[in-house]
Structure formats: C-alpha cells, structure tokens
Amino acid sequence: MNNEKKHDANVEQAEAIQQEHRPASDVYSKAAGKDPETGVEQPTEEAVIEAKEWVDQQNQR
C-alpha cells in the first residue's frame, strides 16, 4: 500500500470517529464528572492527590 492510500485510510478512519464518543483525557483514575462543553474529565480531589504523589515519586528517581 502506498503512502497516499495509507494517509487516505487514516483520514477516513479519523473522520468516522464521533468526537463526543472520543475520550478527551485519561489522566486521572477517578473522575467526578465531565465538563459539558469540552468533554474533559474533572478529577476528584483524591485523584489529583494520587497523581501528584505519583509524579513526585517519578521525579525522585
């Protein structure tokens, strides 16, 4: 398959995905909800604390 056909197939596939069904973010393990305008998850306070602790541990390596 040449590059042009691969590109066309990728574009078709991307256009077929409905944006409202596509996850906006997977950063946090627990979400309190989603922003109605953007669809981005709003994390719980606990999830933010866990994420910060994980980042801090990774930065100590």
* Rounded Cα distance, 38 and 57, in Å: 31
Residues 40, 19: Cα–Cα separation, whole Å? 12
pLDDT tens sequence across 10-45: 677 766 665 555 555 556 668 888 888 888 888 899
Q: What is the pTM of this model?
A: 0.48
Of the given ranges (6-10, 17-21, 49-53), which has the lowest mean pLDDT?
Answer: 17-21
- DSSP for 8-57, please give it: HHHHHHHHHS-GGGS-S----SSEEEE-TTT--EEE-HHHHHHHHHHHHH
Query: Which tops the pLDDT comparison, 52 or 6?
Result: 52
Query: Which residue ranges make up each domain of the chain?
Result: 23-61
